[in-house]
Amino acid sequence: MKSFNMESHVGRTGQTDSHKKVRGLVFSIQAHSVHDGPGARTAVFMSGCPLKCVWCCNPEGLFNQPVMLHSDVKCVKCGACIAACPHGAVSLQDGVLTFDRSLCNQCGTLECVEACLHEGNVISGAWYTMDELMRVFERDRMFWGSKGGVTFSGGEPLMQKSFILPLLKKCKESYIHVTIETTSHLPADYFMDAIRYVDWVFTDIKHMDPERHRELTGVDNRLILANIQRLAEADWWQGIVVPRIPVIPGINDSDEN
């Protein structure tokens, strides 16, 4: 089985209070989401994922640090980022701006973002403490209504263990309805521990054949199905679990699957 590094995405500040010095990497926050659970919600997209789906719709969430995103629509091909990049990662070839992603995805300096005056290069991902996210939730709370709350998505929302577990507890203590959109590909003990603080679970089943699942996502589906089974059998847990199948034409939409 693939080993897990549950802490590789978690940052540290210089503060000494334990929950204040742990930071989580978030690549998007959407207020007033109506597609990520019941009611109106604040959706928080956490970085990091144990899967690598070939159809991934949020590839910017796979990284363990903020990364640069380039928009060819906004780019005017001025070349300022070519001059600014100290790593030689950008070039203009036949009118096409090309980035060497093997360099950019590891880049800790991101000079190309500051150099761009047209928002052609922007940063995806920011570090938050628990208190900072709780302030976002308190800001949005009045818009949730009686059914809404917070949805943690990703990436895999439970990947950053030492950040997300205290945050889930804090939400529970604050009477915030919590939904997660999870791969369920996590160590069983940790998964079930985290679930105690969650009210609603969306979990993907991407393919029923273990080997085909591995080809498409990098891992087989045995742990995922076992964790969903654990959820279904956990009579101490009062939450709702909703299995979802992302239907990818030609990939997993056969009658047999």
Contacting residues toward ligand SF4, per CB under 6 A: 68, 75-81, 85, 87, 89-90, 97, 99, 103-104, 107, 109-112, 115-116, 118, 120-121
Closer residue to ligand SF4 (CB): 80 or 133: 80
Give the nearer residue to ligand SF4 in terms of CB position, either 82 or 241.
Answer: 82
In the complex, the smallest distance separating the C-beta of residue 94 from ligand SF4, rounded to whole angstroms, is 14
C-alpha span between 40 and 148 (Å, rounded):
5
Tell me whether residue 15 or residue 71 sits nearer to ligand SF4 (CB atom).
Answer: 71
Cα separation of 121 and 161, whole Å? Answer: 30
8 Å CB contact between 50 and 156 = yes
For residue 153, give the nearest of 116, 200, 210, 98 by alpha carbon.
200
Q: Which two tokens stand for residue 236?
A: 């101490």
Strand ranges, E, within the chain: 11-12, 22-33, 41-46, 67-70, 90-93, 96-99, 121-124, 126-129, 149-153, 178-182, 200-204, 240-244
Query: Based on CB atoms, which residue is closest to ligand SF4, 116 or 130?
Result: 116
What ranges make up the beta strands (E) of 34-177? 41-46, 67-70, 90-93, 96-99, 121-124, 126-129, 149-153
Nearer to ligand SF4, 65 or 257 (CB): 65
Whichever of 32 and 77 has its CB closer to ligand SF4, that residue is 77
Which among 68, 217, 216 has a CA at the least distance from the CA of 156? 217
Structure tokens at 197: 């603080």
